[in-house]
Structure 1
Amino acid sequence: MVSKPNFLSGSGQDKFSPELQLDSPDGVGVAQAIDPKGELHLRFYIPSHQEFALPATGIREVIELSPDRITPIPNASPLLLGTLNLRGRLIWVADLGQFLGEATELNTDRSEIPVIAIEDQDIIVGLGVDQICGMGWLDVQSLMPPSNVPDTMAPFLRGEWLDTENNKYLRLIDQTAILRSARWAG
C-alpha cells in the first residue's frame, strides 16, 4: 500500500530498469511498465547518498510523515528513531543508514521523513530513509555479489547492480535479514 501514489514519478528510472509511464484517466499516477523485465523494486537513498532497492513483495507500505508522528523512546538504541502507529499497530522505526553501519545520521529536522514499512510473516519494522526514488523493474538475474561493502552492511545485502556509466552501485537489501537481525537486541 502506498500513501502517496505520486512517489512513482520519482527520478528512479535509468539504466537499471525500463521506463515507467504514468497515466490515468482520473489524473492519479498509475505505473505501467514498458517491457517489464525482472521483478518490481522500490529504489531509495540513505543519508550517505548510497542507492538501495527493496523487492516490492516485502513492502507493506511507503509513507512520508512528519517527524513528530514518530515517538522517540528514551534509552533506546541510537539506530531507532522511535515508534509509529501504523493503522492501529505500534511499529519500531529505524534509521536504515545507521542500521547498516553508516556514520551519517538521518536528518529528522525537516517537514517529512520517508518511511518504508517492511514485513515478513507477522513482523513489521519501519525503515527511515533519506529519499524515495521510485519503483522500477530490476533484473535479478544480473545481480552480482556485493563488493567493497563494510562488514556491518554485508549481511543485509542480497547483491548489487553496477551502473557503469555513472560508476555507482545499486544494492539490493535483504529485508528478512534486517527483520530477523540480532542488532535489534543491542
Structure 2
Amino acid sequence: MVGNPDFLTGRGQDQAPEFQELESPEGELHLRFYVASGNEFALPATGIKEVLSPPPDRITPIPNVSPLLLGTLNVRGRVVWVADLGQFLGDPMPLNTDKPEVSVIAVEDQDIMLGLAVDRIVGMEWLDLDEVQAATNVPDSVAPFLRGEWLLDEQDNKHLRLLDQVAILRSARWAA
C-alpha cells in the first residue's frame, strides 16, 4: 500500500483533484441550554469554567440558605455552590433533580465559582454577536442578567437569550 503512487500523492480514485477549504466559523462560541420552564439561553464559552454532569446525590444540600441554592458540589477538592438557574431567573418551575445526572455549568469570575444547574444542555455553537438585539418582552426578574437576544424564529416568536454570567455571579439576589 505504501508503495502505491496514489498513496504517496494523497490522491486516490475516490478523491477530487481540488482541495475543499474549511469554512471559518462566524461569531463567538457559546453554550446553549434550557431551563426547566423550556426557555432557551446561551452563555459565552469564554465565561464558562467547565460543564459537569454529577448525579444528584453528589450535590450536598445545605440548610438555612437561599432557596435558589441546591447545595454544594466538590469539584476536584474545591467546594462549589450549585444554584437552580431557572429559579434564579424567576421561573415558576423548579429544576427536576430526580434523574441520573444534573447538568451544571460552572462559571467563574475573579476566583468566585458558581455552578448553574440547568434542565438540558444543547451544546456549543458559533453565534454572531452582531446579530444580538435588545431583549424584548423580558420579565423584570431576567432583564438585569441579559446582554441581548437572537431572534431564532419570527413566526413562533422564538428567542435565544444571551446571559451575562458576571452579573449572575455578582447579584445581590444570592443573599436573599
Same fold (TM over 0.5): yes
Q: Equivalents in 1 of 2:23, 2:147: separation in Å?
A: 26
**Match status 1:126 vs 2:120:** no
Q: Equivalents in 2 of 1:80, 1:34: separation in Å?
A: 42
What residue identity is the alignment partner of 1:109?
D
What's the CA shift for 1:39?
Answer: 0.3
What residue identity is the alignment partner of 1:159?
G
What's the CA shift for 1:34?
Answer: 4.5
**Match status 1:151 vs 2:140:** yes
Q: Secondary structure at the match of 2:123?
A: strand
Mapping 1:10-89, distance limit 5 Å? 34-89=23-78
What residue identity is the alignment partner of 1:97?
G
Match of 2:165? 175
Q: Secondary structure at the match of 2:87?
A: helix
What's the CA shift for 1:76?
Answer: 1.3
Match of 2:7? none
Q: Equivalents in 1 of 2:78, 2:125: separation in Å?
A: 29
Q: Equivalents in 2 of 1:111, 1:168: separation in Å?
A: 30
Match of 1:184? 174
Q: Secondary structure at the match of 1:149?
A: coil
Query: RMSD between aligned alpha carbons?
Result: 1.2
Q: Equivalents in 2 of 1:156, 1:120: separation in Å?
A: 15
* Structure 1 runs not aligned, ≥5 long: 1-32
**Structure 1 residue runs of 4 or more that deviate by more than 2 Å after TM superposition:** 164-167
Q: Equivalents in 1 of 2:70, 2:23: separation in Å?
A: 38
Q: Secondary structure at the match of 2:53?
A: strand
Q: Equivalents in 2 of 1:34, 1:121: separation in Å?
A: 35
Q: Secondary structure at the match of 1:35?
A: coil
TM-score normalised by length of structure 1: 0.80
Q: Equivalents in 2 of 1:81, 1:34: separation in Å?
A: 42
Q: Equivalents in 1 of 2:109, 2:25: separation in Å?
A: 25
What residue identity is the alignment partner of 2:144?
P
Count, aligned residues = 154
* Structure 2 runs not aligned, ≥5 long: 1-21
Point out the structure with max Rg over C-alpha: 2
What's the CA shift for 1:161?
Answer: 0.4
Q: Equivalents in 2 of 1:111, 1:117: separation in Å?
A: 19
Give percent identity, aligned residues only: 68
Q: Secondary structure at the match of 1:184?
A: helix
Are the structure 2 counterparts of residues 34 and 157 from structure 1 closer, same or farther at C-alpha, using a change threshold of 3 Å? same
Are the structure 2 counterparts of residues 65 and 34 from structure 1 closer, same or farther at C-alpha, using a change threshold of 3 Å? farther
TM-score normalised by length of structure 2: 0.85
What residue identity is the alignment partner of 1:119?
E
